[in-house]
With several copies, the nearest count.
Chain A
């Protein structure tokens, strides 16, 4: 492993911006383009927001972000120990959201899949959710 970091913070929405900046600063070591960085921030923001609003349902919990750099690849895992996902297939469908009344668009997982090279989700109801995403930064 070339480099790694782990970030834990309270499930407050005011930490969403902080989490994006921290992960982008870590990812900068791969010399990404501005577009790469924006992709990473957007995908991360989706996963962190989901942990806060769906995982912990706006109650107090800890969100954990682990990042690794291996060669040119950044791997990011966003974890919560919140309510978990009962029907993962349905959750990952574009436009599906369990909270339309909160004006969620149901596009979170689709955005992660579009902006990262790979996304995998492990979730158990009552235990929590881990979302692992990776992206390879092509040398310029």
Chain B
């Protein structure tokens, strides 16, 4: 995972890689939340383009970060969603609460 902060949009950009499963989720959550608070961020953009695998633990992670952003008056966007990931995310219903964008820059424009 890599993170960067876009000050103008108060957005934390989280680029995930490898596998996002239960095993990795706890430490990712901790790192993201730490950075979110330290930066006083509002929004989170998840860049999933380099992610190789995700199961419902990833859905839980995204839902948890959604709560964090909403509490700060912000939004969550997903970008770089592969067709396979799209099926998983669609059945989870979280597209009702998080945004979708083709790229990180498109997501930034939506904020």
* A contact residues vs B (CB 8 Å cutoff): 13-14, 16-17, 20, 35, 38, 41-42, 45-46, 49, 52-53, 95, 102-105, 107-108, 110-111, 114
Q: Are B92 and A105 in contact (CB under 8 A)?
A: yes
CB distance from A23 to the nearest CB of B (A): 13
Give the complex CA separation of A45 and B22 in angstroms. 9
On whether A104 and B88 interact (CB within 8 A), knowing A13-B23, A45-B21, A53-B22, the answer reads no
* B contact residues vs A (CB 8 Å cutoff): 19, 21-23, 25, 29, 53-57, 59-61, 63-64, 83-84, 87-88, 91-93
A-B contact count (CB 8 A): 62
Q: Are A105 and B59 in contact (CB under 8 A)?
A: yes
Q: Are B21 and A107 in contact (CB under 8 A)?
A: no
Q: Are B91 and A16 in contact (CB under 8 A)?
A: no
CB distance from A40 to the nearest CB of B (A): 12
For chain A, what secondary structure do more than half of its interface residues adopt (helix, strand, loop), or is it mixed? helix
Give the complex CA separation of A45 and B54 in angstroms. 9
Name the B residues within 8 Å of A53 (CB-CB). 22
Residue of B nearest to A14 (CB): B23
Question: Can you name 15 extra interface pairs (CB under 8 A) apart from A104-B56, A105-B92?
Answer: A14-B23, A38-B53, A38-B84, A42-B54, A45-B21, A46-B55, A46-B56, A103-B60, A103-B61, A103-B64, A104-B60, A107-B91, A107-B92, A111-B91, A114-B91
Could you say which of B25, B29, B83, B88 contacts A42, with CB atoms under 8 Å apart?
B88
Name the A residues within 8 Å of B88 (CB-CB). 42, 111
For chain B, what secondary structure do more than half of its interface residues adopt (helix, strand, loop), or is it mixed? helix
Name the A residues within 8 Å of B59 (CB-CB). 105, 107
Q: Are A17 and B60 in contact (CB under 8 A)?
A: no
Name the A residues within 8 Å of B60 (CB-CB). 102-105
Q: Are B56 and A105 in contact (CB under 8 A)?
A: yes
Name the A residues within 8 Å of B84 (CB-CB). 35, 38
A–B pairs, 9, beta carbons within 8 Å: A17-B19, A20-B19, A42-B53, A42-B88, A45-B21, A95-B93, A103-B61, A104-B56, A107-B91
The 6 closest A-B CB pairs, nearest first, are A13-B23, A103-B60, A105-B60, A107-B56, A45-B55, A105-B59
Give the complex CA separation of A14 and B27 in angstroms. 13
Give the most central of B56, B61, B84: most A CB within 10 Å. B56
